[in-house]
Structure 1
Amino acid sequence: LLLYDGIASYTVASDGTVQIERQITTYQENAAGIADDSYLDINTPETLERLRFEQISLFAQKYPRHKLAADEDRDFYDPSQPIMTPKVARSELLNLYRLTFMGERGWVRDYEGYAESLQANIDPDDPSRLNVIDQPMLIGQYRVHAQQTQFRR
């Protein structure tokens, strides 16, 4: 009950150090007032925030002051020109997902599902805006171990 009021549960180790057992958010209902546990565990919004930070940092560091062009127009430009395309953005996000988020950090799963759902398009009303929709599949926390032991003769 304390968890749902914003109080984390904890234990004290034999050496006296305090260890958080579980920490949840106070998010328990969506905007329509319907029970929703999608952001209940603190790990979910914190992991999503970190994914977003890493994505934004990648593009800010690697593609500062680039121009934005359609994929089909890229071949018309001199290769030395700093030009971003939706295909390049998609490729960068897929590499980041597989190598860093899945491999190095173990935060996400289902690369194929992510690749299939990832969208990157130039905004039809703003040619300087790249719209990206990504749907990362987070790895769940190992909180419950359920096991049944059956005696056989």
Structure 2
Amino acid sequence: SEEDPARPLNTLELSGIAAPPVAARLSRNEQETMLKNGVTPLEVGPGETVQIVRAVSTYTRNAVGATDISMLDMTTIRTLDYTCKAVKERVDLRFPREKLSARTPAKVRSEVLDVLRNLETLEILEEVTANAEGVIAERDLQDPNRLNIKIPADVVNGLHVLAARVDLLL
């Protein structure tokens, strides 16, 4: 487990799992094939510990069948869940018996933005200021007791791939 929802689980040790024999260990190509198909591969790390290569979900294609990595990483899903929980807790704390008047949407929106800024400070979300205009709190058109909130969430992605070029200098 990881307290920070945006922090990748790469190299996290899974205690209690025995390392497979060397001949049965996955190659890097096999690991990549698994990742592209929504399977989280494991590998053997220092001291024969079993570790997560990269925690992924089975969401690899969208509804029309096109390749879609938007929800591939478990950290994306965990970050969105964490954001929802943080916003709900703040609204529950600040508005436990609130009336829904013409002033309420602006007050709620202000609190939501504060939560998002705090999550940005923690490097869970990013670009909050750039996306602030998209934070909308408005009364529902059909239910007079309901306030709808739209929250654009730009999650902090994990560093999973490092590409480098080495130039020979003579």
TM-based fold match above 0.5: yes
Gaps of 5+ in 2: 1-32
Gaps of 5+ in 1: 72-84
Q: 1:78 is matched with which residue?
A: none
Post-superposition Cα deviations, 1:126-147, rounded to whole Å, max 9, x if no partner, equal 2211111111111111111112
Shift, 1:111, TM fit: 1.8
Alignment of 1:114-129 (within 5 A): 114-129=131-146
Shift, 1:5, TM fit: 4.5
Shift, 1:36, TM fit: 1.7
Structure-1 separation of matches of 2:143 and 2:108:
17
The structure richer in strand per residue is: 1
Alignment of 1:2-151 (within 5 A): 2-71=34-103, 85-99=104-118, 101-104=119-122, 106-151=123-168
Structure-1 separation of matches of 2:80 and 2:87:
11
Change (3 A) 1:16 1:152: closer
Change (3 A) 1:151 1:6: closer
- SS state at 2:71 partner: coil
Post-superposition Cα deviations, 1:2-22, rounded to whole Å, max 9, x if no partner, equal 234543222333234322111
Amino acid at match of 1:141: G
Structure-2 separation of matches of 1:49 and 1:63:
21
Superposition TM-score, scaled by structure 2 size = 0.73
Post-superposition Cα deviations, 1:86-137, rounded to whole Å, max 9, x if no partner, equal 11111111111112x1113x11110222212111111122221111111111
Kindly report the root-mean-square deviation, in angstroms, between the aligned alpha carbons of the 2 structures.
1.8
Following superposition, which runs of at least 4 residues in structure 1 exceed 6 angstroms of deviation?
Answer: none
Tell me: higher relative CO, structure 1 or 2? Use CA pairs within 8 A at least 6 residues apart: 2
How many residues get paired? 138
